[in-house]
Structure 1
Amino acid sequence: MTQPTAFTLAVHGGAGTILRSSMSPEREAAYHAGLRRALEAGRLVLAAGGAALDAVTAAVMELEDEPLFNAGRGAVYTSAGQQEMDAAIMDGRNHAAGAVAGICGPRNPILAARAVMEQSEHVLLIGDSALAFCQAQGIAMEDAAYFFTQARWQALQETLAMRRSGTQDQDESRKHGTVGAVARDRHGHLAAATSTGGMTAKAPGRVGDSPVIGAGTWADDATCAVSATGHGEIFIRYAAAHEIASRLRHAGQSLDVAAHAVVVDLLAPQGGSGGVIAVDKDGNFALPFNCAGMYRGVVTADGVLRTAIYDEPLEDYGQV
Structure 2
Amino acid sequence: MPQPTQPKWALVAHGGAGAIVRGDLTPEQEAVYREAMATAANAGAAVLRAGGSAMDAVEAAIRVLEDDPLFNAGRGAAFTAEGRNELDASIMDGRNLAAGAVAGLTTTRHPISAARAVIEGSTHVLLGGEGADAFARSQGLEQVEPGYFFTEERWRSLEKALGKLGLAVPPKPAGAAPPSGKAALVHEEGKYGTVGVVARDHRGDVAAGTSTGGTNAKRWGRVGDSPLIGAGTYASNTACAVSCTGAGEYFIRLGVAHRICDLVEHAGLTLQAACDRVVQHQLTALGGAGGVIAVAPDGAMAWSFNTSGMYRARVADGEPLAVSIYKDEI
TM-score, normalised to structure 2's length?
Answer: 0.91
1:207 alignment partner in structure 2: 223
- Measured against aligned partners, the alpha-carbon deviations of 1:223-280 in whole angstroms (never above 9, x if no partner) come to 1000000010010011000000000111111101010000010001212100000001
Q: 1:290 aligns with which of 300, 306, 315?
A: 306
Match of 1:136 among 138, 143, 148: 138
CA drift at 1:203: 1.2
User: Which residue pairs with 1:220 in the alignment?
Assistant: 236
8 A contact 2:20–2:326 mirrored in 1: no
Letter in 1 for 2:122: S
Q: Secondary structure at the match of 2:308?
A: coil
Once superposed, what is the RMSD of the aligned Cα atoms?
A: 1.5
User: Is 1:248–2:250 an aligned residue pair?
Assistant: no
Aligned length: 309
CA pair 21-161 structure 1, distance change in 2 beyond 3 A? farther
Q: Distance in 1 between matches of 2:90 and 2:114?
A: 9
| Residues 303-312 or 212-221, more deviating | 303-312
Amino acid of the structure 2 residue aligned with 1:20: R
Q: Could you tell me which residue of structure 2 aligns to residue 301 of structure 1?
A: 317
For 1:164-175, what aligned pairs fall within 5 Å after superposition?
Answer: 164=166, 173-175=189-191
- Per-residue CA deviation, residues 95-141 of structure 1 (Å, 9 max, x unaligned), is 00000001111111100100011110000000011111111111001
How many Å separate the matches in 2 of 1:2 and 1:99? Answer: 35
Q: 1:90 aligns with which of 89, 92, 104?
A: 92
SS of the equivalent of 1:277 reads strand
- The structure 1 segments of at least 4 consecutive aligned residues displaced by more than 6 Å after TM superposition are none
Which runs of structure 2 are paired with 1:108-127 in the superposition (5 Å)? Answer: 108-127=110-129
The one of 140, 162, 165 aligned to 1:163: 165
Whole-Å separation in 2 of the counterparts to 1:108 and 1:187 = 27
Structure 2 counterpart of 1:103, one-letter code: L
3-state secondary structure, aligned to 1:138: coil
Among the aligned pairs, what percent are the same residue? 52
Question: What is the identity, as a one-letter code, of the residue corresponding to 1:32?
Answer: R
Secondary structure of 2:326 counterpart: coil
**Counterpart-to-counterpart distance in 1, 2:131 and 2:21:** 38
Paired position in structure 2 for 1:78:
80
Asked whether the 8 Å contact 2:232–2:257 carries over to 1, the reply is yes
Q: CA deviation at 1:31?
A: 0.4
Alignment partners' CA distance in 1, 2:200 and 2:41: 13
What does residue 200 of structure 2 align with? Answer: 184
Distance 2:115 2:131 in 1: 13
User: Which segments of 5 or more consecutive residues in structure 1 lack a partner in the other structure?
Assistant: 166-170, 315-320
Distance 2:247 2:285 in 1: 12
Q: Secondary structure at the match of 2:305?
A: coil
Moved more, 238-247 or 197-206: 197-206
Provide the residue aligned with 1:12 in structure 2. Answer: 14
Query: Counterpart amino acid of 2:77?
Result: A
Q: Match for 1:88: what amino acid?
A: S
TM superposition shift of 1:22: 1.9
* Mapped contact 1:174–1:199 kept (Cα < 8 A): no
Contact kept? 1:17, 1:309, Cα under 8 Å = no
SS at structure 2 position matched to 1:221: coil
Question: What secondary structure sits across from 1:288 in the alignment?
Answer: strand
* CA distance, structure 1, for counterparts of residue 3 and residue 43 of structure 2: 22
Cα distance in 1 between the residues matched to 2:301 and 2:24: 30
Structure 2: unaligned runs, 5 residues or longer: 168-186
Residue 2 of structure 1 deviates from its aligned partner by: 4.5
* Residue equivalent to 1:318: none
User: Equivalents in 1 of 2:270, 2:45: separation in Å?
Assistant: 25
Distance 1:44 1:92 in 2: 20
Which residue of 1 is the match for residue 273 of structure 2?
257
User: What's the TM-score, normalizing by structure 1?
Assistant: 0.94
What residue in structure 2 maps to residue 60 of structure 1? 62
The alpha-carbon distance between structure 1 residues 5 and 275, as it changes in their structure 2 partners (threshold 3 A), is closer
List per-residue Cα deviations over 1:46-76 (Å, max 9, x = no partner).
0011100000000100100100000000100
Describe the shift of the 1:82–1:2 C-alpha distance in structure 2 as closer, same or farther (beyond 3 A).
farther
SS in 1 for 2:8: coil
